[in-house]
Amino acid sequence: MEQTFMKERKILPLVLSMSLPMVISMAVNSLYNIVDSYFVAKLSEKAMTALALVYPMQNLITAIAVGFGIGINANVAFFLGAGNQKKADNTATQGIFLSVIHGILLTVGCIVVMPSFLRTFTEDAKVFGMAHIYANRVFLFSVIISLAVSFEKIFQSTGNMKISMFSMSCGFITNIILDPLLIFGIGIFPKLGIAGAAYATGIGQCITLFVYLLFYITKPLPVKIKKKDLYIDKDVISRLYSVGIPAALNMALPSLLISALNGILAEFSAKYVLVLGVYYKLQTFIYLTANGIIQGIRPLVGYNYGAGEYSRVQKIYQTTLKLTMAVMLVGTVLSWSIPQNLIGLFTENTETIQTGVTALHIISLGFIVSAVSVSCSGALEGLGKGTPSLYISLARYVVIMIPVAFLLSRIIGANGVWYAFCLTEFLSAAFAYWIYKKQFNILRSVGK
């Protein structure tokens, strides 16, 4: 497959053709948690709370897998754009090997720390028990997740977006079929309760990896995973982690934020903790189109940067910003027009739904401007500038958000946390635009 189309086709059609399959893939990925939550909510509200408590650690595993995958993606695309086939193959090979190591470490680490983690946020024995059961099973699939994400990013780096879409769809279809069967024990299947949700998710992820491997074997890629390339290449490993570590931290920071906000909200009522968990399920779905666009443009930015097409990189960024702002406008409209329907997917408690509606109304006021931070971070990762991208995420999730949420919660109560989301997006957007312009100008001046 020839990759020169990445620097030859018109920008808007190119961005859309690369992004649309990724939008669908992101929708599928988001639906893993949405579907699990929907069926688990049928068990009880305590089961849903248990799922919300495990979510930060699940997000951490995904964050590390996806973050490192972004490092693979950016560097493979860069080397292909620069015409360095050997480095592209080496990057893919070492990326896959390191992903396996990450998955093993995550499996052991998360299972060991989970009891202490859960006791920090709940004293309810039933909630703790269900959360522990779910966590111990879902974490067993960490290696599978890491490998599947790495293959996803390798395929994306070569422009094979439709394969990512198809592979993830196969996993999701498996998950959605198995969820009710394993949770409620339909037909010949055992009634496993919340453990069934974990197994359904894990088996779905196994199917996704299997499909990637099938395509890799039957459909030739411009990059190859070779045993002979499995040696220590300090330059490649350094490049992988220089993007992968900041990108993983970018992805992991929401887990830190959720844990901090859970601590703040728990002082008011458990219903606020539940609402925050529900919001993050919805947020993943609301932001999925914007995130899909970002996934689509990362290899475009990396390839054109490697090829020295700096003006084209800037045009890709500008097009991305406009598209993501339009998408987030739609998210804002939905949050104000059907908030009861969205929150009602996860709970039937009238009081909880009303609390969730108030939260969604307030938080959504920052959706449109958040497109600036999202677009700048994605473009910087495509350029291989992981650390500046991390600075943006630190501002959004830690440096600004947590202190503001704590302060406003003390002034106006639990709703202050929702207002902190909105205020943080405006402040972070200004910082994100400044840091992107600064980094791009440096790269352009060096390239010239």
- What tens digit of pLDDT does each residue of 175-192 get? 889 989 999 999 899 899
- Compute how many other C-beta atoms are within 10 angstroms of the C-beta atom of residue 220: 8
State residue 33's pLDDT score. Answer: 67
Residue with tokens 């997000």: 59
Mean pLDDT of 280-295: 81
Question: Any idea what DSSP says for residue 398?
Answer: I
State residue 74's pLDDT score. Answer: 86
State residue 144's pLDDT score. Answer: 95
Contact by Cβ (8 Å): 146, 102: yes
- List the domain boundaries for the chain: 4-447
Mean pLDDT of 90-94: 91
Band the pLDDT of 253: cuts 50, 70, 90.
Answer: confident
Band the pLDDT of 392: cuts 50, 70, 90.
Answer: very high
Question: Any idea what DSSP says for residue 192?
Answer: -
Q: What is the pLDDT of residues 41-84, one digit of tens each?
A: 888 888 888 888 888 788 788 888 988 998 898 889 888 888 88
State residue 55's pLDDT score. Answer: 81
State residue 370's pLDDT score. Answer: 94
Q: What sign results for the dihedral spanned by CA atoms 184, 189, 190, 194?
A: negative
- Write the CB contacts of 430 (distance below 8 Å, at least 6 apart in sequence): none
Q: What is the pLDDT of residues 342-366, one digit of tens each?
A: 888 777 788 888 988 999 999 999 9
Size of the chain in residues: 448
Mean pLDDT of 94-114: 93
* φ and ψ at residue 138, rounded to 5 degrees: -70, -30
Q: What is the pLDDT of residues 72-90, one digit of tens each?
A: 988 898 888 888 888 889 9
Pairwise CA distance, residues 63 & 222, whole Å = 27
Provide the terminal-to-terminal Cα distance of the chain, rounded to the nearest Å.
Answer: 30
Pairwise CA distance, residues 143 & 233, whole Å = 23
Long-range contacts of 176-181 (CB under 8 A, 24+ apart): 176/31, 176/35, 178/203, 178/204, 179/35, 179/36, 179/39, 180/39
State residue 442's pLDDT score. Answer: 85
Pairwise CA distance, residues 340 & 110, whole Å = 35
Band the pLDDT of 309: cuts 50, 70, 90.
Answer: confident
- Write the CB contacts of 322 (distance below 8 Å, at least 6 apart in sequence): none
Q: How many helices (H) and strands (E) does the chain have?
A: 17, 0
| pLDDT greater than 90 at residue 336 | yes
Mean pLDDT of 295-313: 87
Q: What is the mean pLDDT of the chain?
A: 87
Question: Any idea what DSSP says for residue 123?
Answer: -
For the record, the structure tokens of 397 come out as 């999730």
State residue 448's pLDDT score. Answer: 46
Q: What is the CA radius of gyration of the chain?
A: 21
Pairwise CA distance, residues 259 & 257, whole Å = 5
Pairwise CA distance, residues 37 & 59, whole Å = 15
State residue 2's pLDDT score. Answer: 56
Contact by Cβ (8 Å): 208, 170: yes
